[in-house]
Amino acid sequence: MKKILALATMAIALAATGNVFAHGAKANHGGIVQSANDLNFELVAKDGKVTIYVEDHDEAFSTKGVTGKLTILNGAERTEVPLEAAGNNLLVAKGEVKLSKGAKLVAAITFSDKSSVNVRFAIK
């Protein structure tokens, strides 16, 4: 009986968490969307370039003064590249980025007010 109750509790918690993360997170640029700090971050990887679009409730969020670092884990290989603000709501990775299926990425972003957020992505 205790096992069934524990499983039911975990299922309810997981279902509630899934709804929170899914709220408002849609890909507008064909990338992978993650939410953090009430913002949506869409990672788009194309032709060796990585761009992250930042939105607040489907509105462009200014990246003026934003800096960061993108850490890429391709199996045992670890690469770090700086992120720079580029345009209204864009962050771009400097240099060519090689991504393979199964790669994991962490964007460590620092906003102009010195607050920060870590956003995790996975390439499927």
Which DSSP string corresponds to the chain? -HHHHHHHHHHHHHHHHHHHHHTT---SSSSEEEEETTEEEEEEEETTEEEEEEEETTEE---TT-EEEEEEEETTEEEEEEEEE-SSSEEEESS-----TT-EEEEEEE-TTS-EEEEEEE--
Structural domain boundaries, residue 9: 2-122
Domain count for the chain, please give it. Answer: 1
Query: Can you tell me the mean pLDDT for 48-56?
Result: 94
- pTM of the entire structure? 0.77
Q: How confident is the model at residue 95 (pLDDT cuts 50, 70, 90)?
A: confident
pLDDT at 48 over 50: yes
In this predicted structure, what is the pLDDT of residue 22? 43
Mean pLDDT of 109-119: 95
Poorest-pLDDT segment among 8-17, 29-38, 83-92 = 8-17
Q: What is the CATH number of the domain that holds 113?
A: 2.60.40
pLDDT confidence bin for 8, thresholds 50/70/90: low
